[in-house]
Amino acid sequence: MTTNPRPPTLTTAGGAPVADSQHSITAGPRGPILLQDYQMAEKLAYLARERIPERVLHAKGAAALGKLRITGDIARHTRAHFLQPGRVTPVLVRFSGLTGERGCADAERDMRGFALKAYTEEGNWDLVGSHLPVACIRDPQKFPDLVRALKRHPVSHLRSSTAIWDFWSLSPESIHQIVMLFSDRGLPSSYRHMHGYGAHAFGLINDANERCWVKFHFKTRQGIRCLTDAQARATIAEDRESAQRDLFEAIERGEHPRWSLHVQLMSQQQAEALSFNAFDPTKVWPQDEFPLVELGELTLDANPDNYFAQVEQATFNPAHMVPGLCISPDRLLQGRLLAYADAQRYRVGTHHAALPVNRPRAPVHTYHADGAMRLDVPPRTDAYYEPNSFGGPRPDRRHAEPALPLSGDAARFDDRQGLGDYVQATALYRRMGSAERERLAANVAAAMAGVPETIQRRQIEHFRLVDAVLGQAIAAQLGI
């Protein structure tokens, strides 16, 4: 019979051994607690600080660890090491709901986040995507207003259908995502049974310093499974953590979810010849013109050991690129480069990138100094600024991107002119079967119930421009 080894001795945060962790120091058996009981004070202080501010968006999520294996070959398009044939890279993937707080139900109709962090030998690559291939805005100026419309009313502290439909009805570029969100695929049954999309266009750079444009798609190998609104209500009544539970338990059982990684590729010449802006995130690239190229496989095979350390403290930033990848002129993406890093410094801390879950596996050499959460002790050096004469890290021009030609006047242009916001939504709607069209109209009408009629009518006009039948069906169900 084996005996369990003696457990380690409990200590304070400073390492002092603890003799009793259940009873405070008091003045006699019935007297008050003494101020000298630092151990009690420390326990209470840590409890008060156990939570960091939740994410404004994507507050509730689940994550898993795994590997990204490259089986295809796009070496002629990119010099990124981790995208070369045969490479295997450790990853963390976080799934989430967009709108709700940390206590929301998983089965609500909402955008789902699909964020991937690849720990490559050249640094971290973060792809911050979702389960739909398009966004509902294209200018980051509108992002704070979108978030406020999605969140709780400042007076009632309830979510306001009026606010979000008012915002959407005044933002015609949202119609493509709205049709997707209220279609069958807008409500996945679990994180394992949905696709993931980078949504934005990114750049690839090859050894000859030539650039092409790329979109990333992760196609679930478990098959697409979705819920109707009625099924979602029944799921929420039984289990508010349905997606979290499904992912965690599947991995614990050894049923490791997998996705096929595909890319779409576009040259600069093709981008210039398109009838729409190739860098508009409310649009998809037609797959008959830009076919999917299978590149690899994503497998999630391990659950985190500690949710807070490896999921809640995980930070994702679309600015995290590696040599061979670059940013495109997508305006919404460019706004996210600023917003994500700023949010993470506020929410997690100045040196959040040094936490174990965020720290690159590649060497890090910066001149960032001091501040809260400085976790390491820098070596003695005279090279604490740049440029310097003491052997400190220096830029390397070999990693410079090719020049991106730009032209035009600097102004605040109206982004609605001539952009064809309804064309792709129309094509999507007309590919649906009659039953799915009926469910789409019913889902939209249910979501718009109780919204002031002036807003309903304004939004219905957008649906009529997608297809007259769709607009009429929604109007009929709303009785207007």
State the DSSP string of 95-143.
Answer: EEESSS-TTS-TTSS--EEEEEEEEEBTEEEEEEEESSS--S-S-GGGH
Amino acid 2: pLDDT: 57
Characterize the bridge pairing of strands 112-120 and 123-130.
antiparallel
Cα gap 105→237, rounded to integer Å: 9
What type of residue is 120? T
**Nearest-angstrom CA–CA distance, 311 and 306:** 8
Residue showing tokens 């019979």: 1
Cis omega (within 30 of 0) on the bond before 304?
Answer: no
Which of 477, 480, 464, 463 minimizes the C-alpha distance to 179? 463
- Classify 181 as helix, strand or coil: helix
Which amino acid is residue 349, in one-letter code?
G
Residue 373: per-residue pLDDT: 83
| pLDDT recorded at residue 39 | 86
For 349-365, the DSSP string reads -TTGGGSTTT--SS---
Residue 21 corresponds to which tokens in the numbers above? 């962790």
Q: Are 268 and 213 in contact (CB under 8 A)?
A: yes
Other CB atoms within 10 A of residue 58 CB: 21
* CA 226 – CA 231 distance, rounded (Å): 9
What six digits make up the tokens of 459?
Answer: 């939004």
Q: Which residues contact 186 (CB under 8 A, 6 or more apart)?
A: 109, 132, 180, 226, 443
167: its two tokens: 């915002």
Q: What is the pLDDT along the chain (480 residues), one digit of tens a residue?
A: 556 788 898 888 888 888 888 888 889 888 888 888 888 888 888 888 888 899 999 999 999 999 999 999 999 999 999 999 999 999 999 999 999 999 999 999 999 999 999 999 999 999 999 999 999 999 998 999 999 999 999 999 999 999 999 999 999 999 999 999 999 999 999 999 999 999 999 999 999 999 999 999 999 999 999 999 999 999 999 999 999 999 999 999 999 999 999 999 999 999 999 999 999 999 999 999 999 999 999 999 999 999 999 999 999 999 999 999 999 999 999 999 989 999 999 999 999 999 999 999 998 998 888 888 888 888 899 998 899 999 988 988 888 889 888 888 888 877 776 568 999 999 999 999 999 999 999 999 999 999 999 999 999 999 999 999 999 999 999 999
Q: Is the pTM of this model over 0.75?
A: yes
Tokens standing for 439? Answer: 């469910």
**Other residues' Cβ atoms within 10 Å of the Cβ of residue 425:** 26
- Picking from 381, 393, 388, 463, the residue whose alpha carbon sits closest to that of residue 428 is 463
3-state secondary structure of 215: strand
By CB neighbour count within 10 A (0-12 exposed, 13-18 middle, 19+ buried), where does 426 fall? middle
Q: How many CB atoms lie within 10 A of CB 157?
A: 8
Q: Before 387, cis peptide (omega within 30)?
A: yes
pLDDT at 51: 86
> Angle of helix 143-150 relative to helix 331-347, nearest 10 degrees?
60
**What was the pLDDT predicted at 176?**
98
Helices and strands (DSSP H and E) totals, the chain: 13, 10
Quickly tell me which residue has 């499974």 as its tokens. Answer: 225
Residue with structure tokens 């949905």?
194
